[in-house]
Amino acid sequence: MDDLKISKKKPSYPVSKHLNKYLSIYSRNVRIPVFYEDLLRFQGSVTVYDDNNEDTLWIRVFYNDFEREEIDLSLKKIYTLLHSDGNQTTIPFLNIDAIDYCTFGNSKPFRIKVRNILNDNYIYFYVKKADASRIYGLELEHMLSPYNLHFLVYKDTLIEEHIAGIPGDVFIKDMLPNCNKMERSMIAKEFVKFNERCMIRLLGDMRSYNYVIIPTHDFDHVVYRVRAIDFDQQSYEGKFKIYRPQFFKENFKMVELVSEILRSESVDQYKLEERSIMARRFQSYESRVNSLVDCMRKDTISTKDHVDQLKSEIYGYTKDLNFKKSNNMGDILKSALDFVRRNYESVHTQYL
């Protein structure tokens, strides 16, 4: 198991005019009443601890009375924009229970807890500094994964919905040992498919705390799914292994599970299934995916050294000359998607 090195401080890349236009076309660019910098004006904070009294690396922030009233109202309006049509008739029934700030990681997000006072149901969303890498990652996840994502961008602020699930590291430590044989087999299968999906769309740094496990009850058993929750490392790093979750030591137990449960023929089958599914998703979103990739090809979201290293390593893996001709991360991603699509079409036409 490799001890992969992630760039300690990935720069935040601004939203280009091309990406901004794309976001406007697809209703992601929406005027919002509060910016990330506004939330940084907190007056004090306390540490947030979990149920085991351990530091969560989040702090709960507080504002003076005048600013808190204005910020609360603005956050309620954002909630209505994110989860409905912006209709503000529900605002009197909403309460901002907490605003938490995380200093760990690149994005340094604010986590907003919104509660419906009529029934005490609550939901979270995040306010972050807009980063082009992350926006590309979110949009690709929306189109090429099994999951839709709700997010909004306005100028230098990103609003992002909360993705519910059990953090991968918590699940591996506390729940995986108690899973039965059928559940372990299903989890192994889903990790193989997740690994393949991340590799193809170049989503990096999927260590166990950057994805969640989602259990869903279905008749007489539980279905498990693996879903990414962190998109900062979309098409940034140069080492190809960073886009393959199997190579992180934090995922050792999952890789061990795959080796223990699945035969190599099954692993190959699940990889092929995921590539075929992604190719079909690409067909469904072809125009939109192409528009996004065109934006990325005109953009700078990594360094030249990373681009040169990644295209060389992927060429060694695929022997596809298109990778060697790539000039930036957008070119590499286009070549990856084209490679998967060509292989899918060549297999598909054999049965027509």
Task: Confirm if 143 and 288 have CB atoms less than 8 A apart.
Answer: yes
Question: What is the predicted pLDDT for the residue at 350?
Answer: 47
Q: Tell me, rounded to whole angstroms, the distance of Cα 166 from its chain centroid.
A: 15
**Predicted model pTM:** 0.93
pLDDT at 352: 41
Distant-in-sequence, close-in-space partners of 126: CB < 8 Å, separation ≥ 6: 109, 110, 111, 112, 158, 159, 160, 161, 162
Report the DSSP beta bridge partners of residue 349. Answer: none
Residue 2 tokens read as: 């490799």
Q: Among 27, 19, 28, which Cα is nearest to 291's?
A: 19
Of 223, 193, 221, 219, give the one whose Cα is nearest residue 206.
193
What's the confidence (pLDDT) of residue 50? 87
Query: How many C-beta neighbours within 10 Å does residue 225 have?
Result: 17
CA distance 328 to 318: 18
Distance CA 331, CA 335 (A): 6
> pLDDT truncated to tens, each residue of the chain (352 aa)?
556 777 667 899 999 999 999 999 999 999 999 999 999 999 999 999 988 898 888 999 999 988 999 999 999 999 999 988 778 888 999 999 999 999 877 788 999 999 999 999 999 999 999 999 999 999 999 999 999 999 999 999 999 999 999 999 999 999 999 999 999 999 999 999 999 999 999 999 999 999 999 999 888 888 999 999 999 999 999 999 999 999 999 999 999 999 999 999 999 999 999 999 999 999 999 999 999 999 999 999 999 999 999 999 999 999 999 999 999 999 999 999 999 988 877 655 544 4
Concatenating the DSSP letter of every residue in 226-276 gives EEE---TTBT--S-GGGG-GGGSGGGHHHHHHHHHH--HHHHHHHHHHHHH
The vertex-24 CA angle with 32 and 302, nearest 5°, equals 95
Dihedral sign for Cα atoms in the order 131, 290, 284, 23? positive
**Residue 351: per-residue pLDDT:** 43
